[in-house]
Amino acid sequence: MMEAQIVRMWIQFNVPRIEDGNNFGVGIQEDVLAEVSGIERDALTFLDQFTRYYASRGKLVAKAAKYPHIDDYRECIRDMDEKQAISMRCIIMEIRNHYSVLHDLIEKNLDRIKVPRSNNTMSMY
């Protein structure tokens, strides 16, 4: 998530002032910024999911400790852990996909991100 914030700030600092015309490079910057924002949103969602998991698991462990003779609590904890392991695998793949797309976007458009407008604008007249 920190890397996405650094990339977002770098691109935002490269956005030129608003002028008429020749905004193709700025549009590319905005597309990359939208992808970075999506990564940040998803990262926060993933972090929230981990927090909820540990809170729920803590409650179940407390109940399992309070009622050690009830096997259903221990089984529920095992099931929850297995579900979380599968969920973590999906999250890791999603993060990989996000960063792969971001890398591809930046690599293909690096010149336009660094210098969104060309200096040698040709006059139509």
DSSP state of 121: P
Structural domain total, the chain:
1
pLDDT tier at 22, thresholds 50, 70, 90: low
Higher-pLDDT residue of 5, 122:
5
* Burial zone of 99 (CB within 10 Å; 0-12 exposed, 13-18 middle, 19+ buried): middle
Rounded Cα distance between 36 and 38, Å, is 5
**Residue 67 forms part of a structural domain:** yes
Instruction: Tell me if residue 123 falls in helix, strand or coil.
Output: coil
Measured between alpha carbons, how far is residue 78 from residues 48, 67, 74 in Å?
21, 16, 6
State both tokens at 34.
Answer: 């939208």
- Domain span at residue 38 reads 2-11+24-113
**Residue 123 forms part of a structural domain:** no
Mean per-residue pLDDT of the chain: 84
pLDDT in tens, 40-82: 888 889 989 999 999 999 999 999 999 999 999 999 999 999 9
* Cβ–Cβ under 8 Å, residues 25 and 115: yes
pLDDT at position 4 over 80 = no
The closest alpha carbon to 36, from 70, 63, 67, 1, belongs to 1
**Residue 122 forms part of a structural domain:** no
Query: In percent, how much of the chain has pLDDT > 90?
Result: 42
pLDDT at position 121 over 60 = no
CATH number, domain of 45, equals 1.20.120.180
**Residue 101 forms part of a structural domain:** yes
**Residue 68 forms part of a structural domain:** yes
**Residue 119 forms part of a structural domain:** no
> According to the model, what pLDDT value does residue 14 have?
72
pLDDT at position 27 over 90 = no
Mean pLDDT calculated for residue range 85-107: 91
**Residue 39 forms part of a structural domain:** yes
Higher-pLDDT residue of 37, 9:
37
pLDDT at position 85 over 90 = yes
**Residue 17 forms part of a structural domain:** no
* Cβ–Cβ under 8 Å, residues 64 and 49: no
> According to the model, what pLDDT value does residue 83 have?
97
Rounded Cα distance between 5 and 33, Å, is 10
